[in-house]
Amino acid sequence: MYTQSMDLPGQVQLGGDSAEERRFQARVDADAKIEPRDWMPEAYRKTLLRQISQHAHSEVVGMYPEGNWITRAPTLMRKAILIAKVQDEAGHGLYLYSAAETLGQSRDQMMTALNAGKAKYSSIFNYPTLTWADVGAIGWLVDGAAIINQIPICRCSYGPYARAMIRICKEESFHQRQGFDIMLALSRGTPQQKAMAQDALERWWWPCLMMFGPPEQDSTHSAQSMQWKIKRVSNDELRQKFVDVTVPQAELLGLRIPDPQLKWNAERAHYDFGAINWDEFWRVVNGDGPCNRERLAARVAAYQEGQWVRDAALAYAQKQRDRARKEAA
Amino acid sequence: MIDQREWPLWEVFIRSKQGLDHKHCGSLHAPDATMAIKLARDVYTRRNEGVSIWVVPSAAISASDPDQRESFVEPMADKIYRHPTFYELPDELKHM
């Protein structure tokens, strides 16, 4: 989901069959964690590095759609909550960059790839936040989907990633509840406010289902990731779970999910739902969504405008070290 | 291109409560120790997770070699007499 382009075709890297790899796989099969300095197959390292860095980038870019509404939040309390939420997203990005760095790539290298448009992040953040209700819909649906995706990653075979995920999941619940609380207030408000909530749900529903990534038959990467216990539950299973838990929540809000084929299937004990527009998904993943260019431009501008701060802090630290050395001499 | 002016990496240790040990909780980049502590507060203790923070330059940490884990740890495994449960004592014995 946050790492959905892991499933892009042509990225399959199958494990080998050396004695080292067999020992590695045996450890993974026994549910032992792999730590940074342990031996690991090169393809495992690369897959994880790509997945964790994509996940980190998603947290960072995910601040933009919501940051858009900080100055326009309807009350001071909502504003304080939104600032805290966006700050958490920055924190999540940092935990994940730290986890990725243990695999041998520096944060600057990852940031450079993101700013150059060479790295992927979740397609969901390339959609615009047109009204305040979108902030509610993001918390409720996008963070709700994130929780469903991230809970299994807490059991990922790579220790630093699993630990980062545990910390993130603890904080994510607040994100979803504050979003639902916004939707609840709007749906109990004036007819205009309720219509605003309905409109946000209609625009975010399908992109949220796409967050889980393409169906399994199109995802050649999954088998290897499952074997390595990087990925533990399939895209389709997670998507189904999201639909099953979210439909009753929408009913509670008195809002209508924009899918005429959505229907409880007693035999499967799951909701059936309509076909997802995968053409739209691939378009957004490949850079042509409604806000891809805007997000990247905002990211690059923030990086460049912060350069003097980073330089000044380093120069100050150097000056302090020089002074201490001179005083010691 | 790699930015050569990257802030160095620090390991962060947090004491969650007075009376408990500082425990490793993650790492971060910072230009110096003062900034590392301030950033660690924002990154790792946003919800009262700590009352005290240590930061250590990552480069200053020496670690045991994971490839020699077996020979390194094994000598401790067979000294079961170091544990109190090794000793069989008469049932009548009290307060021991």
The predicted-structure confidence for B55-85, as pLDDT tens digits, reads as follows 999 999 999 888 888 888 887 778 899 999 9
Of A87, A164, A314, the CB nearest to B7: A314
pLDDT given at position B1 = 38
The predicted-structure confidence for A15-35, as pLDDT tens digits, reads as follows 567 899 999 999 999 999 999
Among A281, A202, A209, smallest CA distance to A241 is for: A209
- Is the pLDDT at A224 greater than 90? The verdict is no
SS3 state of residue A34: strand
Those of residues 102-121 in A touching chain B at CB distance below 8 A are 106-109, 112
Q: Which residue of B has its CA nearest to A171?
A: B47
C-beta atoms of A112 and B1 within 8 A? yes
pLDDT given at position B2 = 42
Of A37, A171, A313, the CB nearest to B66: A37
User: Which residue type is seen at A101?
Assistant: E
Mean pLDDT over residues B32-53, rounded?
95
The answer to ipTM > 0.95 is no
Q: How far apart are CA A56 and CA A100, in angstroms?
A: 9
Mean pLDDT over residues B35-59, rounded?
95
Residue A222: band (very low, low, confident or very high) from pLDDT cuts 50, 70, 90? confident
Chain B residues with CB-CB distance to A35 below 8 A: 66
- Is the pLDDT at A133 greater than 50? The verdict is yes
Q: Which DSSP symbol is given to A270?
A: E
Residue A311: band (very low, low, confident or very high) from pLDDT cuts 50, 70, 90? very high
pLDDT given at position A3 = 67
Residue A290 CA, distance from chain mean position:
18
Structure tokens at A32: 């032992």
Radius of gyration of chain A (CA): 21
pLDDT given at position B65 = 85
Structure tokens at B52: 């005290």
Among A116, A136, A128, A120, smallest CA distance to A58 is for: A120
User: Which residue type is seen at A329?
Assistant: A
Q: How far apart are CA A97 and CA A37, in angstroms?
A: 17
Chain A residues with CB-CB distance to B32 below 8 A: 313, 316-317, 320
Mean pLDDT over residues A178-202, rounded?
98
pLDDT given at position A218 = 59
Residue A329: band (very low, low, confident or very high) from pLDDT cuts 50, 70, 90? confident
Angle between helices A107-115 and A76-101 (to 10 degrees): 120
Residues in chain B: 96
Q: Which residue of A has its CA nearest to B41?
A: A91
Mean pLDDT over residues A314-318, rounded?
94
The predicted-structure confidence for B3-20, as pLDDT tens digits, reads as follows 457 899 999 999 999 999
Among A142, A1, A125, smallest CA distance to A67 is for: A125
Mean pLDDT over residues A202-228, rounded?
87
Q: How far apart are CA B84 and CA A22, in angstroms?
A: 38
Beta strand A263-265 pairing with A270-272: antiparallel
Q: How far apart are CA A135 and CA A178, in angstroms?
A: 9
pLDDT given at position B83 = 92
- Is the pLDDT at A43 greater than 80? The verdict is yes
Among B69, B3, B93, B71, smallest CA distance to A303 is for: B3
- Is the pLDDT at A13 greater than 60? The verdict is no
Among A213, A209, A218, smallest CA distance to A275 is for: A209
Q: How far apart are CA B30 and CA A317, in angstroms?
A: 10
Q: Average per-residue pLDDT in chain B?
A: 90
Contact A175, A88 (CB under 8 A): yes
Q: How far apart are CA A188 and CA B19, in angstroms?
A: 48
Q: What percent of chain A has pLDDT over 70?
A: 94
- Cα angle A28, A32, A34; round to 5: 75
Mean pLDDT over residues A289-299, rounded?
96
SS3 state of residue A302: helix
The predicted-structure confidence for A79-115, as pLDDT tens digits, reads as follows 999 999 999 999 999 999 999 999 999 999 999 999 9
Q: How far apart are CA A134 and CA A179, in angstroms?
A: 9
- Is the pLDDT at B88 greater than 50? The verdict is yes
Residue A8: band (very low, low, confident or very high) from pLDDT cuts 50, 70, 90? low
Least confident of A111-115, A200-204, A217-221, B71-75: A217-221
Least confident of A160-164, A262-266, A295-299, B64-68: B64-68
Residue A223: band (very low, low, confident or very high) from pLDDT cuts 50, 70, 90? confident
Of A98, A171, A310, the CB nearest to B27: A98
pLDDT given at position A71 = 97
DSSP string spanning A108-163? Answer: HHHHHHHHTT-S---GGGGS---SHHHHHHIIIIIHHHHHHHHHHHTT-SBHHHHH
Q: Which helix (H) or strand (E) holds A87?
A: helix A76-101
Of A39, A94, A310, the CB nearest to B7: A310
